[in-house]
Amino acid sequence: MISAGPVTFRFCAALGALVGAAACSHPIQSKLEGRWLGDAVENFDDPVVASATGWVKGTSFEFAGPNLTIAIPGEEPRTGSYRVAGARKSLIKLAITRADGGSDRAELRMDSDNSMRWMLDNSRAVVLRRDL
């Protein structure tokens, strides 16, 4: 017979929390999961395309469960929790909570299972490819 002591209770509570967290995640999160590498820029002025492309090639997004780590050249990688604040067709809006408690928003457009765009404004974007 198995005892239902304090250790069993803590295990069951932890398991329940994990299952509950997974059940509450947005279906889009599974499509984002993994590492995405910067590939190109769109709609940048000709004089800055080369330098912007070089910067983007060192950029990455890594989605791991409820966390997002963004690495940008010249800066320390930043990790925070994120949630899908909205999704419609290929547009995904993220709400990101930084480690310092601040928050940011980001818009992504899924082009395919292995390509997405980080929308910087209404026309400019960073193209990201899934790291396979």
* Collapsed DSSP state (helix, strand, coil) of residue 58: coil
Above 60 in pLDDT, residue 23? Answer: no
pTM of the full structure:
0.78
pLDDT in tens, 71-81: 999 999 999 99
Q: How far is CA 56 from the centre of its chain?
A: 16
Range of the domain at 98: 27-130
Residue 10 belongs to a domain: no
pLDDT level of residue 25 (50, 70, 90 thresholds): low
Residue 92 belongs to a domain: yes
Q: Average model confidence (pLDDT) for the chain?
A: 84
Above 80 in pLDDT, residue 82? Answer: yes
Residue 61 belongs to a domain: yes
Mean pLDDT on 69-94: 94
Residue 114 belongs to a domain: yes
pLDDT in tens, 95-119: 999 888 899 999 999 999 999 999 9
Q: What is the CATH number of the domain that holds 116?
A: 2.40.128.280
Helix ranges, 25-132 (H): 28-32, 46-57
| Number of domains comprising the chain | 1
Nearest alpha-carbon partner for 25 in 104, 81, 78: 81
Residue 86 belongs to a domain: yes
Residue 101 belongs to a domain: yes
Mean pLDDT on 83-90: 94
Above 90 in pLDDT, residue 6? Answer: no
Residue 14 belongs to a domain: no
Mean pLDDT on 29-56: 95
Nearest alpha-carbon partner for 69 in 130, 77, 53, 19: 77
